[in-house]
Amino acid sequence: MSSTPWPEDVRKKPLHVRWAGFYPDDCAHHLEGSALAHTDVSALNMLATDDGIRLLDWALACPAPEWTDTALAIVRLIHAGHSPEQAEEIAHRVPAYRAAPRAAVTTFAETMCAVWAHRTAADPLPHRAPLLAAAQAWAAHRGPAAA
């Protein structure tokens, strides 16, 4: 999926627009992309079939870097008990993630912290605090972003 381009006739806010305000202004280029991104990677949106995993609920899909869904899965893997190192090792199996610029992925990790912090504060559902903690662990593992 990471190599599938966003269908140009479908108008949705790109990820860097959707998340504006959660990352430094000079880092927007790190989150720009034109690949099809699901952006709601969770166990509830996956269906196991004989042919593999199918993603469900495409309501939050948008144009984004081709490594976006893999990066989002890292937070879910950490939440499930993997260390940040283990989660990134799994993510590196995806060529698009492996090729992503380090600074861009670090900006993404830091942005995920801001997004989950905002969601947790705005609507503190029980699953949000653990996802925020997972995002914080990943961002801490990556260190500060370089523009």
One-character DSSP codes across 9-35: TS----HHHHTTTSS-GGGGGGG---E
Question: What are the pLDDT digits (tens) for 78-121?
Answer: 999 999 999 999 999 999 999 999 999 999 999 999 999 999 99
From 60, 143, 137, 53, select the one nearest 107 (Cα to Cα): 143
- The strand pair at 52-55 and 62-64 is best described as unpaired
Domains annotated on the chain, with CATH: 15-142 (3.90.1200.10)
What is the C-alpha separation between 92 and 99, in angstroms, rounded? 9
Per DSSP, 114 falls in state H
Q: Which DSSP state fits 100? A: S
Asked if the model's pLDDT at residue 146 lies above 70, the reply is no
pLDDT band of 43, cuts 50, 70, 90: confident
> What is the DSSP code (8-state) at residue 144?
S
The span from the first CA to the last CA of the chain, in angstroms, equals 27
pTM more than 0.75:
yes
The structure tokens listed for 5 are 């381009």
What is the model's pLDDT at position 7? 94
Q: Does position 71 have pLDDT exceeding 80, yes or no?
A: yes
- For position 144, what pLDDT does the model report? 77
Q: Mean of the pLDDT values across residues 33-41? A: 95
pLDDT in tens, 12-23: 999 999 999 999
Quote the pLDDT of residue 130.
96
pLDDT confidence tier of residue 41, bands split at 50, 70 and 90: confident
Q: Is residue 25 pLDDT above 80, yes or no?
A: yes
